[in-house]
Structure 1
Amino acid sequence: MTLVQEKRVKRRSRRRRTLWAVAAAVTLLVLTVILIGGTPQAAPPALGLPSATTITTGKPRDGTWAVGPGSVAGFRLSETTLGREGDVAGRTNQISGTATVTGDRITAAECILQLDAITVNGEPSKQFADSLNTADFPTATFTLTAPVDLAAGAAQAPGRLTLHGVTRAVRVTFTSRGSTATVEATGSVPIVLADWGIQPPRGYGSLGSLADHGVAEFYLHLTPA
């Protein structure tokens, strides 16, 4: 073999080793993505008021209204995996509560959310159950602390939120509409996990991260109790 041929063989050998190294790196990256949960999945859109086709006209009557079927609530946090950003959202329809309507105002309200029933992408999430410690704190409770004007449509509701065993004052931004048969409200409140002593969910690996803040969001469908 001549010197020129020998150099060509060595170059081909180096190229093969480089290709094998790249292939191995890609394989390792794919396996890592699978292990930490892949790239962010498309989260459901933010909760809002549905089309008003089923709402009859008229003013909500005075009295007690109960949170009923069709209500949904949960959380939304930003996540990053392999440099790609997205949202992760938890949902549950296990919500109970009541609101008192007097004139055009909600004068009292309490809503209880079953945190231990929250699912992510339709499945229970051990990460979030551990982070929220739902075994010891299975519910979150919001209590209204001052009347809110229903006629305004969009408003802020002052109240107390109890989460993870901690109670803090919050202001819930919401939009509502009502009739003689139904009151609907949708809104959100920003949540900084550390304010409630909550550690962000673990298990996202070195190539993924989850924000330490997000929003709690809801859609409530109330009918006369």
Structure 2
Amino acid sequence: MAGSIRRHWKRWLIAGVATVAVLCTAGPYIYINYVQDKPPAALSLDDPPGSNSSGSSSGSGEQAGEDVEGAWRVGSGSQAGYRVDEVLFGQNVTAVGRTEKVTGELEIEGNRAVNGSFTVDLASVKSDSDQRDGQFRGRVMNTERYPEATFELTEPVDFGSAPAVGEQVSAKASGELTVHGETNSVSFELDAQRTADGFRVNGSILVTFADYGVDAPNFGGITVEDEGNIEFLLAFDRA
């Protein structure tokens, strides 16, 4: 009798362990692939413009395109944030966090942006996970001590020509990126689009976490890659 009970107990134990293993494997897969929303697409000039970047031009496209010299500031409709690849309980996912709390300015002479910078309020960045946001603001980025990320041009950006309304031009930007109290030189490609009453600029900056004194945020079954991207889509108004 005792031997029979022990055999049944072993079978139940093995079955229980197998069930837990299946749930641990299948649970995240089902959640990520069938329940969780897909991450938003990368920011791009294909996104609908904000209120300051829409409407019809009061002049010809050529005239509006030429009238770009002077001082500009980041306006409504701007966004910035991060995009990083994670492994969540063995499943590959992409984490995206964004904020509209972005400020900045730009000075244009001829077809070149000669001075410019923008600042992101990191404490307001949100993703689809409160747990991830808590880790981001606390242990990862320590936004209480380092509440902002900034980028400042160190070389003029030459767009070659002033685009007409709706047209896009591309250029390379170089500057200094400050995150988590550390500053590094960065270069990246960006796209600019003339709108009826301003223009928009879109780009992505590759960031290696260790270069900014940030440990790759690994916690609670989540493993994060050693690098990610800072994405931005900036809408500019006349200053």
Tell me, yes or no, whether TM beats 0.5: yes
Unmatched segments (≥5 aa) in structure 1 = 1-6
Query: How do residues 34-53 of structure 1 correspond to structure 2 at under 5 angstroms?
Result: 39=32, 41=36, 42-49=38-45, 50-51=47-48
Equivalent position of 1:135 in the other structure: 144
In the superposition, relative to structure 1, how do residues 83 and 160 fare at CA in structure 2: closer, same or farther (>3 Å)? same
Query: How do residues 192-207 of structure 1 correspond to structure 2 at under 5 angstroms?
Result: 192-205=208-221
Asked if the contact 1:204–1:210 (Cα under 8 Å) also holds between the matched residues in 2, the reply is no
- Aligned counterpart for 2:104 among listed residues 88, 97, 108: 97
Asked if the contact 2:217–2:223 (Cα under 8 Å) also holds between the matched residues in 1, the reply is no
Asked if the contact 1:150–1:177 (Cα under 8 Å) also holds between the matched residues in 2, the reply is no
Give the match's secondary structure for 2:191: strand
Instruction: Output the CA distance in 1 between the equivalents of 2:181 and 2:9.
Output: 63
Amino acid at match of 1:125: D
Q: Give the root-mean-square deviation of aligned CA atoms.
A: 3.0
In the TM superposition, residue 192 of structure 1 has moved relative to its aligned partner by 0.2
Residue 109, structure 1, aligned to residue 116, structure 2? yes
1:53-81 CA distance string (max 9 Å, x none)? 93643224211111000100011110112
Residue 145, structure 1, aligned to residue 154, structure 2? yes
1:107-150 CA distance string (max 9 Å, x none)? 11010111111111275711111201111100011101111123
Instruction: Output the CA distance in 1 between the equivalents of 2:129 and 2:7.
Output: 53
From the two aligned structures, give the one with the greater strand fraction: 1
Instruction: Output the CA distance in 2 between the equivalents of 1:14 and 1:180.
Output: 74
Equivalent position of 1:3 in the other structure: none
Give the match's secondary structure for 1:125: helix
Q: Give the alignment's TM-score, normalised by structure 1.
A: 0.82
Amino acid at match of 1:135: E
Amino acid at match of 2:236: L
Asked if the contact 1:74–1:92 (Cα under 8 Å) also holds between the matched residues in 2, the reply is yes
Unmatched segments (≥5 aa) in structure 2 = 162-168
Residue 172, structure 1, aligned to residue 188, structure 2? yes
Instruction: Output the CA distance in 1 between the equivalents of 2:211 and 2:78.
Output: 26
Instruction: Output the CA distance in 2 between the equivalents of 1:119 and 1:90.
Output: 5
Give the match's secondary structure for 1:119: coil
In the superposition, relative to structure 1, how do residues 20 and 112 fare at CA in structure 2: closer, same or farther (>3 Å)? closer
Instruction: Output the CA distance in 1 between the equivalents of 2:153 and 2:183.
Output: 13
Percent identical pairs in the alignment equals 30
Instruction: Output the CA distance in 1 between the equivalents of 2:75 and 2:91.
Output: 38
Q: Give the alignment's TM-score, normalised by structure 2.
A: 0.77
